[in-house]
Amino acid sequence: MDLFKKCDDFTTVNETRELGIYPYFHALESKQDIVVSMEGRREIMIGSNNYLGLTGDQRVIDAGVAAMKEFGSGVSGSRFLNGTLTTHVTLEKELAEFLHKEDCVTFSTGFQTNLGIISAIAGRTDLIFVDRENHASIYDGARLSFAKMVRFQHNDMKDLELQLKNADPDKGKLIVTDGVFSMSGDIANLPEIVRLAKKYGARVMVDDAHGFGVLGKHGRGTAEYFDLEDEVDIIMGTFSKSLASLGGYMVADHKVVEYVKHKSRPFIFCAAITPANAATALEALRILKTEPERPKALLDIASYMRKSLKNKGLNIMEHSIVPIIPIYTYTFLRTLAACKLLFERGVYVNPVIPPAAPEGECMIRTSYTSTHTPELMDEAATIIANVLNELPEADEDILAYLESLHE
């Protein structure tokens, strides 16, 4: 059989394009902000992870420009060889200090960070316990480690304890969880995870990509939010969200960081973060430290929008406080149609469809920025409510409705 037969059989993209509801790869014509220009349209941006609003901050931009002028556009090698800059060293030092850990190592992307940590720290004789709704990079890191992966039901501590209880006591154990789950906005039950880890001799790793800059009095993330910074063994995070750049990091005890630095293939065999990316992440971190009111403003605007959407009768996940608010649209077709209509009316959101959500539980994911204003949120909420109230529920009715709009 031809290897590429699967490519011929993959027809979903063409089918959704023919229907005019393909939702991906819309091109930005401006920098990431609360309002953007996208394919000639003004769009209220509630579909990015620019949580602290720093991607367009002039101080961050200037830091990146200055770094390129000083160090050039790239490093042309790995950190092991010629790729370590003084900026990398400074960034790692300040991250470790901010997150109250002994040491830090940075990676070129957030996805690569999870691959690099998990595949280095766990091996064939170990067990990795993962929440079923963890990020894909955690699953891929576990596979790359060759450790046995044990899934537990989402945020289900009884199931986690059962899995730990049934595990071989002589094997190394690592519990890995998202701090804030990127699709639902759920916050991990970190206090219970830590308790169970102590009881069964496991280590704890938190992926805080969506928690850093969001939770905690100082924005240090999920562990700070629960006052468990000393109890979590490894914290990873990304630069592409609150820190307005690209890359990722791991903080832990010095011995753990040293081990990962010298054992992690995704770290050893990859070029280092570019000078501009390192400098912009560092500047964003320094802004967060000097402007700790940003995380509170972020949660305030999320609370405002959550109440507004609920008051308009929309079915949202309302149990969390973070700036991720999924709105149920239920079916694949209705979700893509909603995204299309919202885009046309000036609101940019993200579709959550299988495999990211079970069939029948599809959603549009909305996410917010500390610099969003109540006035802008009122405008977006009204447009969202109008679109979802007008959009039929049955697939055959949706197609007819879309056709009627463009006759």
Task: Tell me, rounded to whole angstroms, the distance of Cα 95 from its chain centroid.
Answer: 18
173 assigned to active site? no
Nearest-angstrom CA–CA distance, 352 and 345 = 20
Return the closest-CA partner of residue 205 out of 186, 224, 231, 183.
Answer: 231
210 assigned to active site? yes
Nearest-angstrom CA–CA distance, 124 and 145 = 7
261 assigned to active site? no
Nearest-angstrom CA–CA distance, 245 and 109 = 10
Q: Given 48, 137, 145, 182, which residue is catalytic?
A: 182
Q: What is the DSSP string of 186-204?
A: PBP-HHHHHHHHHHHT-EE
Q: Given 173, 210, 340, 372, which residue is catalytic?
A: 210
- Please check whether residue 43 is in contact with residue 339, taking contact to mean a CB–CB distance below 8 angstroms: no
Long-range contacts of 258-265 (CB under 8 A, 24+ apart): 258/103, 259/120, 259/121, 260/105, 260/116, 260/117, 260/120, 260/121, 261/79, 261/105, 263/120, 264/116, 264/117, 264/119, 264/120, 265/116, 265/119, 265/120
Strands 203-207 vs 172-178: parallel, antiparallel or unpaired: parallel
Q: Given 241, 264, 370, 372, which residue is catalytic?
A: 241
Would you name the residues annotated as active-site residues?
182, 210, 241
